[in-house]
Structure 1
Amino acid sequence: MKCKGFLFDLDGTLVDSLPAVERAWTQLAARLNVPAQDVLDFIHGKQAITSIRHFMQGATEEAIAREFAWLEKREAEDIEGVTALPGAIELLNFLNEANIPWAIVTSGTVPIAYARHRAAGLPEPETEVFVTAEQVERGKPEPDAYLLGAHLLGFEPEQCVVVEDAPAGILSGLAAGCHVIAVNAPADTPRLEHVDYALSSLKELLIQKTADGDVEILRKH
């Protein structure tokens, strides 16, 4: 597989933030009087506001905004246990050193995304492209976030590879027309058979530049 740029999801792909995510959303579930497991089964890969609206159907926008603000503050402040996933730092450092463009495309908001990015010690993208929930009207699984990421890198979607763990994000990347690499995706992920690679770790990726300046992506065996 060849590409020109990478579009990385953040949570679950580059960063293990699951303990912090589950703490915050379990507390929100209690506030909303909703079974915590129902919430945890729904939220992954989606914008927080989408999930809150789902569980607060019939509520006023004011009430929804209040719970969103509470959750955003909680998630931005709670970074205990947030770490880089295996191979993430090495991969991003390699891309920077090789001058291969990459961006982060997350369903999280700016305060949460930047807090977790810093807590995990991830390198900054040389492109300075960081797509967050505030920048798109429709979140994953709609294609908007990855279409914007490709545009900001200066490439067509088909010239980019999306790296994702969540079903909503994988569907978003496919809908955008990008190549997609799934990492630790659930076995029942819709359209998983359509991704280019389904990996258990970022360490399985082998990336090299070709003579014509493209990026070749192989899977280590």
Structure 2
Amino acid sequence: MPEELHVLCKGFLFDLDGTLVDSLPAVERAWCNWADRFGIAHDEVLNFIHGKQAITSLRHFMAGHSEDEIAAEFTRLESIEASDTTGIVALPGAVALLNHLNESAIPWAIVTSGSMPVARARHKAAGLPLPEVFVTAEQVTRGKPEPDAYLLGAKLLGLAPEDCTVVEDASAGILSGLAAGCHVISVSAPENSPRLDEVDFVLQNLTEITVTRQPDGQAHVLRNT
């Protein structure tokens, strides 16, 4: 990691699940039930899915099945995940940080691998402020770890990717943010995440940073020491 304990940017691109919202129990319930239907070990599924679009995971595990069969499983899984919000809460520091960004007129977006119905349901259940931009799986052809989602998020905010800070918990999302040319802050990311040494900060939760709007409009992100 760079030695400096601060970042300057013009806007933020936040992942949703695992970064702003604790949806892990709901995610694992849905995918473990799906794994049981197909006779796949829970760990095999759970070790693959995080940070990726559901359709990507389904294609991975349903190799040899038709696209119609995969699409049917996606629709079924999406319905389950959009309706099961039990236990979903905002992660520490998330609501306070987003409210502060709004009060400071610092642009931010949510950029998630989830579909719109699932993402909206979890965002609402967690009681998060509404983002200016909400990028979901339907809006990009290639999901994380490809850079498309974060490039789109930056574009919709009217910012260059290098002027944005991606905040991510998943390995796929970290790779996506780096590939997009953004600053990247990891939050509770797996210690074995590839290229973790290239991110600006490695955090346990969002209470570990302070964001201040500078006179030139840039956001100064300081890691609390």
TM (norm. structure 2) is: 0.97
> Matched residues in 1 for 2:221 and 2:101: separation?
12
Correspondence 1:84 to 2:90:
yes
Match of 1:109 in 2: 115
> Matched residues in 2 for 1:30 and 1:68: separation?
16
Match of 1:150 in 2: 154
1:26-105 alignment, distance < 5 Å: 26-105=32-111
Deviations 1:4-25 (A, max 9, x none): 0000000000000000000000
> Matched residues in 2 for 1:49 and 1:13: separation?
21
Match of 1:171 in 2: 175
> Matched residues in 1 for 2:42 and 2:188: separation?
23
> Matched residues in 2 for 1:215 and 1:45: separation?
26
Aligned residue pairs: how many? Answer: 219
> Matched residues in 1 for 2:139 and 2:79: separation?
19
Match of 2:24 in 1: 18
> Which consecutive segments of 4 or more residues in structure 1 shift more than 6 A?
none
Q: CA deviation at 1:91?
A: 0.3
> Matched residues in 2 for 1:19 and 1:202: separation?
20
Unaligned runs of 5+ in 1: none
Deviations 1:70-116 (A, max 9, x none): 10000000000000000000000000111110000000000000000
Question: In the alignment, which of 198, 203, 207 is matched to residue 207 of structure 2?
Answer: 203
Secondary structure at 2:142's aligned position in 1?
coil
Q: CA deviation at 1:210?
A: 1.2
- Letter aligned with residue 137 of structure 1: T
Moved more, 150-159 or 205-214: 205-214
Identity %: 66
- Letter aligned with residue 60 of structure 1: S
> Matched residues in 1 for 2:138 and 2:124: separation?
19
Secondary structure at 2:127's aligned position in 1?
coil
Q: CA deviation at 1:213?
A: 1.4
Unaligned runs of 5+ in 2: 1-6
Secondary structure at 2:18's aligned position in 1?
coil
> Matched residues in 2 for 1:209 and 1:112: separation?
32
Match of 1:185 in 2: 189
> Matched residues in 2 for 1:70 and 1:34: separation?
18
Secondary structure at 1:34's aligned position in 2?
coil
Q: CA deviation at 1:34?
A: 1.1
Deviations 1:15-42 (A, max 9, x none): 0000000000001101222111100110
